[in-house]
Amino acid sequence: LRLESELRRAVGTEQLFLHFQPLVHVESGRVAGIEALLRWNNPELGSVPPDRFIPQAETCGLIVPIGRDVLRQACQTALPWLQGGHPDLLLCVNVSPRQFQDGAFLDDVRTILRETGFPAGNLELEITEGLLLKERGDIDGLLQGLHDMGVHLAIDDFGTGYSSLSYLERYPFHTLKIDRSFMIGMLERHERKVLVDTIVAMATGLGLKVIAEGVETAEQLARLRAIGCDLAQGYLFSRPVPAEQIFALLDNRF
Ligand code: G
Ligand code: G
Ligand code: MN
Ligand code: NA
């Protein structure tokens, strides 16, 4: 409850801010995208990890205004990166199921894109499969609406929770992000290896771009390259960092 009242007061202040982490094209080593990740620094509670405050924000509904601020802030921050010589850079933003249940979501996205001037085709919204499980309503219409706007849709943390392969057929996803838990033991454990190979092959076969999350070693990267994974993200390249550090990373060849 303390957390919730502190969070309520933090909305719209500089206590909530974004860090950014690069997504690297496995073949070329070039930065292909940047994921925005929310951070909360409270004067009394210190730095509160997102795994603690995001579920809370979802429960009490604060994730709706927070998510709106995240999207606006991310677009504002990333636009100069596109304009500064990286026109194809993808901006990846996490969206909670709770934000989708808010009837204004589609309009919010449209408004933010218009007001910031951020191109829809450079935005990728990451959605966890929990959404597709819980939400009946007009989730099809909502995802189709985003798709029609030109926004990319990614299924995040794929392979955890209640993955249903039928989601991949039913919804207009561009991208599949393999959950970072699959990177652990990926080179040692036969079963894990088979799962990663199979997810990459399946996603590729479906015409989806595949991103491996949580890549920490050069050996994992080499394996991902061998099986044709498109993009990789993880501490091997960079931790999530403040925006000021991103521009210097964009010309890196990892
Ligand atoms: O940022 P990591 O650094 O700790 O993030 C932990 C979890 O919080 C991840 O599941 C991530 O998707 C989620 N997360 C981070 N930023 C955001 C955000 O802006 N919105 C939502 N809904 N989830 C986020
Ligand atoms: O659920 P989502 O994929 O949005 O969350 C991204 C989360 O993964 C963030 O918490 C981010 O800090 C974390 N992360 C990013 N790269 C790595 C990594 O290489 N290893 C680990 N353990 N976590 C990572
Ligand atoms: Mn994510
Ligand atoms: Na996520």
In a structure prediction context, what are the per-residue pLDDT tens digits for the chain, which is 254 residues long?
A: 789 999 999 999 999 999 999 999 999 999 999 999 999 999 999 999 999 999 999 999 999 999 999 999 999 999 999 999 999 999 999 999 889 888 899 999 999 999 999 999 999 999 987 767 665 668 888 999 999 999 999 999 999 877 778 888 888 999 999 999 999 999 999 999 999 999 999 999 999 999 999 999 999 999 999 999 999 999 999 999 999 999 999 999 99
At 1 the pLDDT is 74
In a domain? residue 8: no
At 101 the pLDDT is 83
Query: CA-CA distances (angstroms) from residue 149 to 32, 74, 117, 126?
Result: 21, 18, 14, 16
CB 112 within 8 A of CB 104: no
Q: How far apart are CA 168 and CA 155, in angstroms?
A: 9
In a domain? residue 245: yes
In a domain? residue 57: no
CATH number at residue 117: 3.20.20.450
By three-state DSSP, how is residue 214 classified?
coil
Q: How many CA atoms lie within 13 A of 25 on its CB side?
A: 14
At 222 the pLDDT is 97
By three-state DSSP, how is residue 174 classified?
coil
Q: How far apart are CA 214 and CA 196, in angstroms?
A: 13
Amino acid at 128: T
Q: How far apart are CA 230 and CA 24, in angstroms?
A: 9
In a domain? residue 48: no
CA of 83 to the centre of ligand 3 (A): 24
Residue 67 backbone dihedrals phi, psi, to 5 degrees: -60, -35
Q: Is the CB of 51 under 6 A from ligand 1?
A: yes
State the ipTM, two decimals.
0.96
Q: Is the CB of 96 under 6 A from ligand 1?
A: yes
pTM of the model: 0.97
Which ligand ends up closest to the CA of 128? 4
At 134 the pLDDT is 65
Q: Is the CB of 92 under 6 A from ligand 1?
A: no
In a domain? residue 193: yes
Contacts of 217 (CB under 8 A, 6+ apart): 236
At 223 the pLDDT is 97
CB 254 within 8 A of CB 235: no
Number of domains the chain contains: 1
At 140 the pLDDT is 86
Q: Within 10 A of 69 (CB to CB), how many other CB atoms are there?
A: 17
Tell me the three-class secondary structure of 110-150, residue by residue.
HHHHHHHCCCHHHEEEEEEHHHHHHCCCCHHHHHHHHHHHC
In a domain? residue 5: no
Q: Within 10 A of 70 (CB to CB), how many other CB atoms are there?
A: 22
In a domain? residue 185: yes
Show the domain range for 33.
Answer: 17-37+62-249
At 116 the pLDDT is 98
Which ligand ends up closest to the CA of 39? 1
In a domain? residue 49: no
Q: How far apart are CA 111 and CA 78, in angstroms?
A: 17
At 128 the pLDDT is 87
At 133 the pLDDT is 67
Residue list, CB under 5 A from ion ligand 3: 94, 126, 156
Q: How far apart are CA 236 and CA 217, in angstroms?
A: 6
CA of 157 to the centre of ligand 4 (A): 6
CB 4 within 8 A of CB 29: no
Q: Is the CB of 22 under 6 A from ligand 2?
A: no
At 70 the pLDDT is 98
